[in-house]
Amino acid sequence: MSRIGKSPVTIPSGVEVKVDGNVVTVKGSKGELTQEMDSCVTMSIEDGTITFTRESDTPDHRAKHGLYRALVQNMIVGVSEGYKLQLEVVGVGYRASANGQKLDLSLGYSHPFVMEIAKEVKVTAESAKGKAPVITLESHDKQLVGQVAAKIRSLRKPEPYKGKGVRFLGEEIRRKAGKTAAK
């Protein structure tokens, strides 16, 4: 039984939820998001809360029950509050700068990376002397922010010996001892 799917979603003030067949549209102050749902999960809106029910108890339907409830919850939080992810660029000579929707990264390779960020995501890069540069991504779409952050992180993942690379702010990197520790 899906515990996540059973819990209702409350609609905050200023957020409008519309259901048109299998398509859910959520509109708020930060933007508008749409999601297509499977027909095995039905959604009902009553008194500012959304409840989800499934047509049978098969494992596939149980999984989708919790999935669509979580997706709609993320959409509502996104259009009302928004999502923010921060990445830290750790390494000697590693740099990050944002110019509009272009992110310029120098990550120790022979060439810099210039990424064109989707227009729905607001990107900023802050560099302070003596500290690692921090890239901030903000948007109303949780999936898009996570996808952009994962793409940036994949350019130079943190390595376990010195910890150099692109990591999420506050992420703990499991460090290994070098070959001098073996003696």
Q: What integer best gives the mean pLDDT of the chain? A: 91
Q: Residue 100 is encoded by which pair of tokens?
A: 């509009």
3-80 matches 83-168 in fold: yes
pLDDT value at 122 more than 90 = yes
Contact between 120 and 137 under an 8 Å Cβ cutoff? The reply is no
For the residues 122-129, what does the mean pLDDT come to? 93
Q: What percent of the chain has pLDDT over 90?
A: 71
For the residues 71-92, what does the mean pLDDT come to? 94
For the residues 115-143, what does the mean pLDDT come to? 93
Q: What is the pLDDT of residue 183?
A: 63
pLDDT value at 35 more than 80 = yes
Could you tell me the pLDDT band of residue 2, with boundaries at 50, 70 and 90?
Answer: low
pLDDT value at 1 more than 50 = no
For the residues 25-29, what does the mean pLDDT come to? 93
Distance CA 98, CA 173 (A): 26
Distance CA 52, CA 49 (A): 10
HEC states along 92-160? CCCEEEEECCEEEEECCCCCCEEEECCCCCEEEEECCCCCCCEEEEEECCHHHHHHHHHHHHHCCCCCC
Domain ranges of the chain: 3-80, 83-168
pLDDT value at 181 more than 80 = no
Q: How far apart are the first and last CA of the chain?
A: 54
pLDDT value at 18 more than 80 = yes
Which burial class, exposed, middle or buried, applies to 95 when counting CB atoms under 10 A from its CB (0-12, 13-18, 19+)?
middle
Q: What is the pLDDT of residue 3?
A: 83
Contact between 76 and 30 under an 8 Å Cβ cutoff? The reply is no
Q: What is the pLDDT of residue 5?
A: 83
For the residues 1-18, what does the mean pLDDT come to? 86
Helix (H, G, I), strand (E, B) or coil at 19: strand
pLDDT value at 12 more than 50 = yes
CATH topology of domain 83-168: Outer Surface Protein A; domain 3 (3.90.930)
Considering just the CA atoms, what is the radius of gyration of the chain in Å? 21
Helix (H, G, I), strand (E, B) or coil at 179: helix
Q: Please, which residues bridge with residue 93 across strands? A: none
Q: What percent of the chain has pLDDT over 70?
A: 97
What's domain 3-80's architecture? Answer: Alpha-Beta Complex (3.90)
